[in-house]
Amino acid sequence: MALLLGVFVVAPIAAQFSAGIMVGEPSGLSAKLWVGELSAVDLMLAWSLADDAQRFYVHSDYQHYLAFMEVENGRLFAYVGIGGRLYVGDGATLGIRIPVGIYYELERLPIELFLEIAPGLNLLPETEVNVGGGIGGRYRF
């Protein structure tokens, strides 16, 4: 709980922070905190409907951004990351994820858009490969 409080309350004061939503699997609230010029920590709190099970979902990733393409109005990057994820409901599932995506930052508005796919590996209670991802937007504070 202290981690969530830090990300949503203290972090925006300390560095560039953004919050918004992601729609896909899973769908929910998304937040990002830049920890360097080309690196960020991502957090998502969501509800997963995969496999006809309704479960609470949380993940956090370290993401590294790569110069991708020059655009006239804003900044466009590709990114790759690594992190952990947890599903809770009808038992808990713990795993790792490797998100890969595209990130676009508008030039004149504090808005960022992203598209990601995240292959992952469940580690507990059993080993299983799966893929998540979606499209989202966040407001930069």
Q: How far apart are CA 124 and CA 132, in angstroms?
A: 17
Q: Which residue has the tokens 């059993």?
A: 126
Integer CA distances (angstroms), 134 to 25, 65, 72, 91, 101, in order: 6, 18, 25, 24, 10
Range 129-139 average pLDDT: 95
State residue 40's pLDDT score.
97
- Domains identified in the chain, total number: 1
pLDDT at 51 over 80: no
Q: How far apart are CA 54 and CA 71, in angstroms?
A: 40
* 18-41: pLDDT as tens digits: 999 999 988 999 999 999 999 999
Q: How far apart are CA 67 and CA 108, in angstroms?
A: 20
pLDDT at 135 over 90: yes
pLDDT at 12 over 50: no
Q: How far apart are CA 76 and CA 72, in angstroms?
A: 10
Given pLDDT bands bounded at 50, 70 and 90, which one contains residue 14? Answer: low
pLDDT at 58 over 90: yes
* 73-129: pLDDT as tens digits: 898 999 999 999 999 988 899 999 999 999 999 989 999 999 999 999 999 999 999
Higher-scoring residue by pLDDT: 132, 8? 132
- Which CATH number covers residue 31? 2.40.160.20
Q: How far apart are CA 133 and CA 126, in angstroms?
A: 21
Give residue 112's domain range. Answer: 2-140
* Contacts of residue 11, Cβ cutoff 8 Å, sequence gap at least 6: 17, 33
State residue 96's pLDDT score.
98
